[in-house]
Every structure is written in C-alpha cells, then in structure tokens.
Amino acid sequence: MYDFLVAGAGPAGSRFARRAAENGRDVLVLERGEVGKPLACSGHVSTDVWDFTPDGAREELLQNEVYGARFHVGGPGSAEHPFYKDEVVSNVIDRVGLDRTLAGAARDAGADLREDHSVTAVEEHGDHVAVTANTPDGTEQFRAKMVAGCDGPVSRVRRELGLPEPGEKLQGVLGFTDEDDPGDFVDVHLTAPRFFAWRIPRGDAGVEYGLAAPPGAQPGARELFERFTADYDVETSEFCAGMIPIGPPRSVTAHRGFLLGDAAAQTKPFTGGGILYGMTAADHAARTVAPDDPGTLADYERAWRDDLQSEIRLGHWVRRAYSLPEPVQTAGLRALSGEIAVHMDRPTSFFSPEHLRTLLSRT
C-alpha cells in the first residue's frame, strides 16, 4: 500500500510528490495523459518559481524577462498605463517544460509516476483509499493511505470525495504566434467581461495571446479571443482552452483525501494563475499531512489558508476593478501608473511600506 496516491502531475501534484518522497513517503503519481499536455495555462510567472524547481531549470526554461505591464482600458492602440520596476518582476517560461521538469524532480526523489493513467473512482475506507484508474493495460485499482487530488479545475477526485466546487470557473483561451518579440512589458486589456485579455512576449519563442471570461458570456470566450487577435492583426496557432477556477471552496479535505492546486482553486482571483499558490500549498501538505493520521488534514487546511487566504481575499477586491465603468478605470490607472514595488503573487504587497513610499512620492 502506498502512503500517498497523487492524481495529476501538474505543478502542485509533482511538487507534493517530490516533497513527500523526500520525506521518506511511498508515493504513486497517476497522470491521465502525457505530462504537460495538453497545455491550458499561461507561461507568465513570478521569479519565485525558481525556488520550487531543481538546479539548472531556469537556464532550460526561461524564455523572456519582464519588467512591467501596460494596462489598457481598450484594445490595441488605446492609451497605455504602464506599471514597472527597474528590475525584473516576472519571467516567461516554457510552460510544458516546467511540468516535465517538476515531474522529473518528483521521479528523482523516488516517486513512482505513471502517465496515461486516468482516475475514474475513489473510495474512502477506514484506513485507506481505493483508487480505480484506466491504464494502457485496462482498468486497475490502487490502494493508498491518502489520496491527493491534483487533477485540475474539473477534478474527478473532488467529485468522488464529495467536496464542494470552487466558487467560480472562467473559460480561458490561449494562442501563440511566431513573432520574435523580446519586449520588456506584457499588455493587459480590460476588455473581457469580468476579466481581461493579455499579450505576453516570449522572446524568440513567439508571443502568447490569451483571454478569460465567464462561461455563458455573450459573446463567448472564443469569439472574444478571435476579435482580440484580429485587433492585433495576428493569427495564432496551437490554440488551447481550459477552465480557470476562482475562489477556494469551504473545505478541500475529506477523511483520507485532500485537494491541491487548481482542484482546490488555490489561484489568484485577479489573474487566474495558480502555479505558485498550488506549489506553496503542496509544501504545506507535505509538511503537515501524515498518511497514517487523518487528523493531520486539519493542519493542512489551516496552514495553507493562513498563508494564502489574505492574498486571495485581496485578489478578489483587485478583480472587482475590472468591472468598474471605463472612466473610473481610466482615472484609477492614470493615478496609480508608474514605478511600483508590488509582488505579482502577493497583492498585500500593495500596502507594503516600500510601495506606499513610492505612491506618496508621486503626490
């Protein structure tokens, strides 16, 4: 019997598997397809991502360095409101490569990672869980003391454990061009309902265009994306789509199971990104959860919420600004734009002494 069965080898799942294996746990990871595929997430991340990767990952995965963002209330050609630092604030990376690097680190730590294993059922028992999966050789059942649901926004483990859904799911779409653009700024357009569209330069790897919007919006996310790229006069390839969970449910733990990453909606409400939050929660889980003691799941709930709930709560407030009337958005962006001292993963840094001094210096 395994100590942990991890469903999903995205960043959160692989990070947890690596840390648990390093702690001497017997870990099995089941990935429903090929690690990193299909791509459904942006490759724009904070520089903190390298704290979670093995040595040498930055040199292999880095595509571009970003110094700031230009915000637009309208589409391409509309007024720009830049927010920037005189140092690198974020990186653009090979997103598929990140998943594979993290999965490789989990394997190197001793985790047993199996691709093309799709979880179909989870049964909790007094001292273990029984997990059924479709495999290349047919249906197989595995036993573990705990199951970690790291299987994305539409989580089968979450459903099987009877855990509540995220507060909201957005429809995200991505596409890429082969433009050679080593630009220092990403572009953010507040033109999608209740969210935004973006353009991210990836150096000689091309340019990423993306957009997210609530399901059922009219026009839908795909049509909005086509309009957005048409306004930029580009045609994208490698079109990708996926759900973005926003708002963690009231509980992400059951009797012998717990959720991590997108399955737990451990994401930034104002960008939808969840790589850093998911891996942060994974570290808390690896530190607090003892596979023989279901009572330690409460320790995991407290640990990750104590660390991230203020950031998530403030992130919801930031997102509300996306739905303000255009004149109010324009006035706010005009007043606040300029040099910043804010961390892209921690909106509480907006109230840091350093950033408040920066704002006061403009008055």
Q: Which domain CATH number covers 68? A: 3.50.50.60
Q: Is 179 inside a domain boundary? A: yes
Predicted confidence band of residue 237 (pLDDT cuts 50, 70, 90): confident
Q: How far apart are CA 105 and CA 97, in angstroms?
A: 12
One-letter amino acid of 315: G
- Please determine, for residue 360, whether its predicted confidence score (pLDDT) is greater than 70: no
Predicted confidence band of residue 358 (pLDDT cuts 50, 70, 90): low
Contacts of 95 (CB under 8 A, 6+ apart): 36, 39, 41, 42, 43
| H helical segments located in 137-220 | 156-161
Q: Is 53 inside a domain boundary? A: yes
Q: Is 334 inside a domain boundary? A: no
- Please determine, for residue 160, whether its predicted confidence score (pLDDT) is greater than 70: yes
- What confidence tens digit (pLDDT) does each residue in 72-125 have? 999 999 999 999 988 999 999 999 999 999 999 999 999 999 999 999 999 999
Q: Is 349 inside a domain boundary? A: no
Q: Is 358 inside a domain boundary? A: no
Q: How far apart are CA 114 and CA 8, in angstroms?
A: 10
Contacts of 195 (CB under 8 A, 6+ apart): 170, 211, 212, 213, 214, 272, 319, 322
pTM above 0.85, yes or no: yes
Query: 320: part of which helix (H) or strand (E)?
Result: helix 297-320
- What confidence tens digit (pLDDT) does each residue in 12-55 have? 999 999 999 999 999 999 999 999 988 878 899 999 999 999 99
Contacts of 48 (CB under 8 A, 6+ apart): 276, 345
Which domain range does residue 271 map to?
Answer: 2-320
- Please determine, for residue 355, whether its predicted confidence score (pLDDT) is greater than 80: no
Q: Is 327 inside a domain boundary? A: no
Residue 263 near residue 16 (C-beta atoms within 8 A)? no
Percent of the chain with pLDDT over 90: 86
Predicted confidence band of residue 236 (pLDDT cuts 50, 70, 90): very high
- What confidence tens digit (pLDDT) does each residue in 176-185 have? 999 998 899 9
- What confidence tens digit (pLDDT) does each residue in 288-337 have? 999 999 999 999 999 999 999 999 999 999 999 999 999 999 998 998 89
Instruction: Count the domains in the chain.
Output: 1
Q: Is 331 inside a domain boundary? A: no
Q: Is 338 inside a domain boundary? A: no
Instruction: Name the DSSP letter for residue 346.
Output: B
- What confidence tens digit (pLDDT) does each residue in 110-155 have? 999 999 999 999 999 999 999 999 999 999 999 999 999 999 999 9
One-letter amino acid of 56: G
Percent of the chain with pLDDT over 70: 97
Q: How far apart are CA 231 and CA 257, in angstroms?
A: 46
The mean of the pLDDT values for the chain is 94
Considering only CA atoms, which of 44, 58, 36 is closest in space to residue 92? 44
Q: How far apart are CA 68 and CA 4, in angstroms?
A: 40
Burial class of 212 by CB neighbour count within 10 A (0 to 12, 13 to 18, 19+): buried
Residue environment code for 236-250, b if the CB has 16+ CB neighbours within 10 A, otherwise e: beeebebbbbbebbe
Collapse the DSSP code of 45 into the 3-class scheme (helix H, G, I; strand E, B; otherwise coil) and give the result. Answer: strand
Predicted confidence band of residue 214 (pLDDT cuts 50, 70, 90): very high
One-letter amino acid of 354: E
Query: In this structure, what token pair is assigned to residue 283?
Result: 């570290």
